[in-house]
Amino acid sequence: MDDRDAALMRAHEHATAWLDSLGTRPVPPQATVDDVVAALGTDLPDGPTAAPQVVDLLATACGPGLTAMPSGRFYGMVIGGSHPAALAADWLTSAWDQNSALRTVTPAHTAVEDVTSAWLLDLLGLPASAAVGFVTGATTANFTCLAAARGEVLHRVGWDVRHDGLTGAPHVRVLVGAERHESVDLALSYLGLGAPEVVAVDDQGRIDVPALADALAGAPVPGTPTVVVLQAGNVHSGAFDPFAAAVEVAHRHGAWVHVDGAFGLFAAASPTYRHLVAGYETADSWATDAHKTLNVPYDCGLAIVADPVPLRAAMGMHGDYLIQSDAGDPLDKVPELSRRGRAFPVWAVLRALGRSGVADLVDGFCRHAAAFADGLRGIDGAQVLHDVVFTQVCASFGTDERTRDVVARVLADGTAWMSGSRWHDRAVLRVSVSSWATTDADVRASLGALARASAV
């Protein structure tokens, strides 16, 4: 066996050993950053080392410092697992090493991207003519969609932002709900649009439509270029903005409507939960992640824009040395030029699950979240702080101090990983169910850990 095959074999063995360990190992890491640095060693060797040995060293040194994020008992932030078909396709993606920027240079990836895009638009109930860009995550997807939005609303008032920049441009208003994800603000900052105007939300974190209507009507100059950002899936409550009414009023004022649905957009793929996004298909752009609800490995986000023209106007580029296609190239839809073949794992998970499998995946997360809420309500002193409508559950254990103590004790217990946060001015425990690997037994074991942590 040559070095290449031996290295790949070793990687395969380490990978399966890691995946096999997920059922029994503690979910939190068992080593600190300093521990792992010490195990790796810090001296850059003067000469070469054989690839299989390098793989062994990496796996051995990193093992204790790995967090069991693909475990069925990881509920922190919003972290999807890795479906086996997507994980295996991701390995192939690295082996194939396709730079997927150009349509005709890498036809296999372009074909898969085209087929996958059509499947996604169908599953999500979005316009079949929309453009889909495969980016690194929802932050970049928000940026990409909002770049198209910025260009288009300025174009409508006769300003070419690509050519003339923002200096001296008409002011662009951006309205967001008070509980939008912080990555929206980051994307706006990348775009030079500054801090958004904040619209009030209700007790679940949903944008208040009359307040949005008032804000829109209060434009300092009528006809001001305006973008409204709505949300499908609040990271604390899981709540969805009332899309039909919000999009209608925003469009009445000529605004571009963008939806941040990093994990919530896939509610649309479930007949049971589709009602949560009713009316969202009339928006102008949507951002989501494939590495959250859809369970492909990091990293993969999707930037979807109903009208491909403003997206291409914002993202397209020309290079004399590039072999570009009249049909448009994948690079026209994303901020990057070179990028990996991100569509391969997305195709694989969709092909493996099928339409009903994607719906079952979403329904399963929601069923487990509801079980968490029920279990938490049965724990003395615990209180679920919102309507549990999707995959997120936030709870308090009384005082902020007690809640923080319970979160710390659950992490120390090691059965499950859940994050603390602050929501509506109080400390909370957050549970996000986002992995295909989570079972009823995982939820029971994790509730057991919560009961132990709060019994102290």
Ligand X SMILES: *Cc1c(COP(=O)(O)O)cnc(C)c1O
Q: Name the site residues for ligand X (rule: CB under 6 A).
A: 78, 137-139, 181, 183, 233, 235, 260, 262-263, 289, 301
Pairing, β 301-305 against β 383-384: unpaired
Reported as type and span, the H/E element at residue 256 is: strand 256-260
Distance of closest approach, residue 359 Cβ to ligand X, in angstroms = 21
| Closer residue to ligand X (CB): 137 or 225 | 137
Quote the tokens at residue 287: 């951002």
Quote the tokens at residue 441: 């037994």
Distance of closest approach, residue 232 Cβ to ligand X, in angstroms = 8
Quote the tokens at residue 341: 């073949």
Distance of closest approach, residue 129 Cβ to ligand X, in angstroms = 25
Distance of closest approach, residue 239 Cβ to ligand X, in angstroms = 11
| Closer residue to ligand X (CB): 290 or 449 | 290
Distance of closest approach, residue 203 Cβ to ligand X, in angstroms = 18
Asked if 196 and 176 count as a contact pair (C-beta separation under 8 A), the reply is: yes
| Closer residue to ligand X (CB): 87 or 141 | 141
Asked if 267 and 292 count as a contact pair (C-beta separation under 8 A), the reply is: no
**DSSP-derived 3-state class of residue 386:** coil
How many other C-beta atoms lie within 10 A of the C-beta of residue 327?
Answer: 10
Residue 198's DSSP bridge partners are: 176
Q: Where are the beta strands (DSSP E) in 46-172?
A: 131-135
CA dist 359 → 91, 329, 406, 447 (Å): 26, 31, 33, 25
| Closer residue to ligand X (CB): 139 or 438 | 139
Distance of closest approach, residue 356 Cβ to ligand X, in angstroms = 25
Asked if 67 and 74 count as a contact pair (C-beta separation under 8 A), the reply is: yes
Distance of closest approach, residue 300 Cβ to ligand X, in angstroms = 9
| Closer residue to ligand X (CB): 70 or 137 | 137
Closest to 196 in 3D by CA, of 209, 181, 217, 214: 181
Distance of closest approach, residue 295 Cβ to ligand X, in angstroms = 13
Q: Which amino acid is at 192?
A: G
Quote the tokens at residue 55: 């793989």
- Residue of minimal CB distance from ligand X? 137
| Closer residue to ligand X (CB): 102 or 239 | 239
| Interatomic CA distance for residues 164 and 170, integer angstroms | 11
**DSSP-derived 3-state class of residue 198:** strand
Distance of closest approach, residue 199 Cβ to ligand X, in angstroms = 16
How many other C-beta atoms lie within 10 A of the C-beta of residue 62?
Answer: 16
| Closer residue to ligand X (CB): 284 or 289 | 289
| Closer residue to ligand X (CB): 235 or 283 | 235
3-state helix, strand, coil in the chain (%, to 5): 45, 15, 40
- What b-and-e string marks burial along 409-424, b requiring 16 or more CB atoms within 10 Å of the CB? bbbebebbbbbbbebe
